[in-house]
Each structure stands twice: as C-alpha cells, then as structure tokens.
Amino acid sequence: MRITLAGLCAACALLAGMPRPSAEQVCAGDTLGVSRVAEIDTTGGPWFGTPQGDPSFLATGEVVLTFDDGPVPKYTRPILAALAAQCVKATFFVVGEMVAEYPDVVKEIAEQGHTIGTHTWTHANLKRLSDEKAQAQIEATFTAAEKAAGQPIAPFFRYPFLSDSESVVAYLKSRNVAQFAIDIDSFDWRTGDPKSVIRRVMAGLERRGRGIVLFHDIHASTMRALPELLSLLKAKGFKIVHMRARTAIQTLAGAQPPVKETKHLTSRTPRRISVRHRGRHRYVRARDL
C-alpha cells in the first residue's frame, strides 16, 4: 500500500507542475526527520502563521522551519548540511538580489528537496511602494528563483518586515500565492550568540507548543545554532512538517528586476548587497559572503 500511495503522490506532483521526487529519502533511525509533508493548495492566497493563518494547521508538537533573506554561500551551505544531517526539510524565502548573485546555491537548495518561496527582490517594505513597484519586486523574484532552481518553485511568499498592505494582499490572492507570517521569531538578526537563538526558539515552542519558526540564512548565529537546535527538537519530541505546494508558481513573461539607482563606483569600491530586517539595515560586501 505504501508503494502505491508514493507512486500516486509522485504522479500528482508531476501533473501539477511541481518537480517529481527523485526517490524516497532514507533517513537513519536516530535522525529528527520529517514527520509530515503538508501539501498546500494555494488557491486564493491563503495565510500561514500568526495572526491571519489557521491556528489548527499544525498539531501540537509540530514545527515548520523557514529561512529568509538568502542565499549566502558561507551560511546557507552549512545550514543545508545541518538539515541534511538530521534528514530535515525546510522552506527558504529567497531575496532576488541574492538569487542573482548566487544562483548555484538556489539550485542546491532545490536539489536537496527543500521548498523555495520568495521575499521580494531587494527586501523592500511593500507597504511603502506603489502597486506597480511592489508587483515588480514580487514577480521578478519568482522568475529569477525558478530559473536558478532549474525546476518549478512554490507560490509561497513572505513579506519583508512582515509588512503587508491591502493592495498587495489582494494581488497575491489573485495570483494564488500563499502568504506567510510567523509564529516564533528566532531573533537571530539581533545576536551573534547561537545559544541565544536556541533559547528563544525553544522558549517559543514550549510556550506555544507548535509553530512556524523564522530564521535567516545570512547570519553566523543561525548556522552555528542549527545543529544543536535540531538535536534538541528531537530530544524534546517535536516533529518537523515540510510544507510543499500542490501546484507551482505561474511566472509572468517579461518580469524584470526593479530598476536600481545607479551609483558612481570606482574599481576599488566593493560591490555591496543590502541586508535588512525589521528596521535594521546594513550592507554586506559581496566578497565577504
């Protein structure tokens, strides 16, 4: 019966436009693993996470791991390795500028079976943009991420700064794109201490009992915290849920990245990538990533 169900699921995924799993992953008995794959119908742009999402989506003890703002090779790749060591799958909400800089890492994320969603092109606060500019931020990133992944990606989107607007919410609903908030913030952007990240996540899970957890794969604190955190989740009996989309994003022809203000740079000026979260803003030199 198990083989029959697996075959039916693979066939459905193929027909729906999502990539067919290459083979069922075999996990060691002592790993955390994935307890449940949640196949999401994104019709109408449903919300996930507090406060708009359905609170009954996750059962007690269930956890969804999500990572924003990447990819950044020196952090994203060790994070992928930590997830693989525990046979765990996550969702990565990628930023368009980073996708353009590191398409090979996006491809690795996809090839390792993780879900790819998007997070605008420049990590822009969409509430402050015109409808036209907000839509360009969204659509260009879906197009670039799908191209980099080399396969269809999920119609999953998370708002930078968790800042939405009525017009963008309506637009994503019309595009059948699932909209993501969070339940638990790791606050990895506030600290370089991995122990602090672990404490915050575990405290949030102990308090709520379940949740969609926000990390960022652009911070050393996240990279260093993850191996111990995953082991702790297993020890405490938490279960990982992998969110997948029933159908792939339908990218729009001609979607182009937003026009960027040109700056006069000398040959000695390092290229910089914008990294922002919840009011904090810093630039990172590309050669340092």
pLDDT in tens, 189-237: 999 999 999 999 999 999 999 999 999 999 999 999 999 999 999 999 9
Residue 144 confidence (pLDDT): 98
State the DSSP code for 257: P
Is the whole-model pTM more than 0.75? Answer: yes
In the residue annotation, 216 being an active-site residue is answered as yes
Question: Does the residue 273 lie in any domain?
Answer: no
Question: Does the residue 170 lie in any domain?
Answer: yes
**Do the Cβ atoms of 233 and 31 come closer than 8 Å?**
no
CA–CA gap between residue 173 and residue 63 (Å, rounded): 25
Angle at CA 155, nearest 5°, toward 215 and 111?
65
Per the structure, the complete domain to which residue 120 belongs is given by: 28-254
The structure tokens listed for 8 are 């039916």
Question: Does the residue 141 lie in any domain?
Answer: yes
Q: How far is CA 241 from each of CA 73, 93, 114, 238, rounded to the nearest angstrom?
A: 25, 16, 12, 10
Per-residue pLDDT reduced to its tens digit, 79-100: 999 999 999 999 999 999 999 9
Whether pLDDT at 60 is above 50 = yes
CA–CA gap between residue 26 and residue 96 (Å, rounded): 33
Question: Does the residue 5 lie in any domain?
Answer: no
Q: Tokens 């506030």 map to which residue?
A: 190
Per-residue pLDDT reduced to its tens digit, 102-160: 999 999 999 999 999 999 999 999 999 999 999 999 999 999 999 999 999 999 999 99
**Do the Cβ atoms of 123 and 157 come closer than 8 Å?**
no
Question: Does the residue 23 lie in any domain?
Answer: no
Q: Which of 216, 219, 242, 277 is catalytic?
A: 216
For 7-132, strand residue ranges (E) read 36-40, 47-48, 62-68, 91-94, 115-118
- Give the burial string for 234-248 (b: 16+ CB within 10 Å, else e): beeebbbbbbbbbbb
Q: Is 188 exposed, middle or buried (0-12, 13-18, 19+ CB in 10 A)?
A: buried
In the residue annotation, 114 being an active-site residue is answered as no
The structure tokens listed for 192 are 């370089």
Q: Is 224 exposed, middle or buried (0-12, 13-18, 19+ CB in 10 A)?
A: buried
Question: Does the residue 13 lie in any domain?
Answer: no
Residue 29 confidence (pLDDT): 82
Which CATH number characterizes residue 103's domain? 3.20.20.370
User: Looking at per-residue confidence, does 6 or 213 come out higher?
Assistant: 213
Q: Tokens 């956890």 map to which residue?
A: 63
Positive or negative, the CA dihedral 160, 166, 167, 172 is positive
Instruction: Provide the domain count of the chain.
Output: 1
Per-residue pLDDT reduced to its tens digit, 14-59: 445 565 544 456 787 899 999 999 999 999 999 999 999 999 999 9
Whether pLDDT at 182 is above 90 = yes
- Phi, then psi, of 196 in degrees rounded to 5: -65, -40
CA–CA gap between residue 271 and residue 289 (Å, rounded): 11
Residue 28 confidence (pLDDT): 78
List CB contacts of 145: < 8 A, sequence separation 6 or more.
94, 96, 99, 106, 116, 118, 153
